[in-house]
Amino acid sequence: MNHSTSELKVKARSLLQGQFLLPVAGFFFIQAAAILVLNIYRQFFWGVPGTAWMIIFYVGLLIILLLVSLLNAGYTRMLMNLSRNRPYSLSDILSTCAQDGDRLLIITILEALAVFACFVPSIVFSVVNELVGGFLFLNLIALLLEMAGLVAAGILYLSFSLAIFLCMDYPDKKPVELLKLSSQMMQSQKGRLFYLLASLLGLYLLSALSCFIGLLWVAPYTEVTLILFYRDLNHEDLDVNSQGQETAGQY
């Protein structure tokens, strides 16, 4: 754990140099598939009245988003193989869904529920506030609760941020164990990860100026940088380029 944020970025750029084709193709495939499916799905329900249909729409939308999260996890596996100088291909995206789909889905659902729980107090208080007439001081309390929920959700996100990476490296561990392990590894490391993410924000702003075409480069670069952050915490030697490098397994 001796690599600074700038060093991780340099190593990420070095890894991707001359190897951008598959990472870009993988990202484009996932985003294009997600946009196409979501647009077709939305058109199917367009203008259909009734509360029941609305519930069905949102349930289906949730299922689609969960499936997209599986593809994103497969993309992560592909880039993890790249970062460890192992053979990698677009087939990694689909093979991950088949191998670890159940654990990845449970991790995603548990993370979403944990984040939602952070906002339950503010949601309940806002509903009560509306029922009693919406007094100003109650609105201020509701705002404070929302801000507290946002902070708590951010902390949880940082704490659980390694769970997907760990799922790839520890096939025998259960989802709850992986979330706990991620939280353990991220103790005293949340500020470091927050700084890393903040330092990448400018690239996303620049990509917006290019109508998000720049995301084809920024997204793989960001993901590889985060993978190197995880590997650094996992006590791996990021300078080793041997085939089939194993994780240190310190945790």
pLDDT digits (tens, 9 = 90+) for 2-45: 789 999 999 999 999 989 999 999 999 999 999 999 999 888 87
Query: Of all residues in the chain, what percent carry a pLDDT higher than 90?
Result: 66
- What are the tokens at 123? 């949601």
Give me the torsion for CA of 15, 213, 57, 42, rounded to 10°.
-140
**Burial (CB count <10 Å: 0-12, 13-18, 19+), residue 16:** buried
- Phi-psi region at 242: left, alpha or beta (left = phi > 0; alpha = psi -120 to 50): beta
Cα separation, 89 vs 49, in Å, equals: 44
Among 120, 31, 95, which Cα is nearest to 68's? Answer: 31
Q: What does pTM read for this prediction?
A: 0.87
Cα separation, 20 vs 109, in Å, equals: 31
- What are the tokens at 144? 């404070």
What confidence score (pLDDT) does residue 178 get?
97
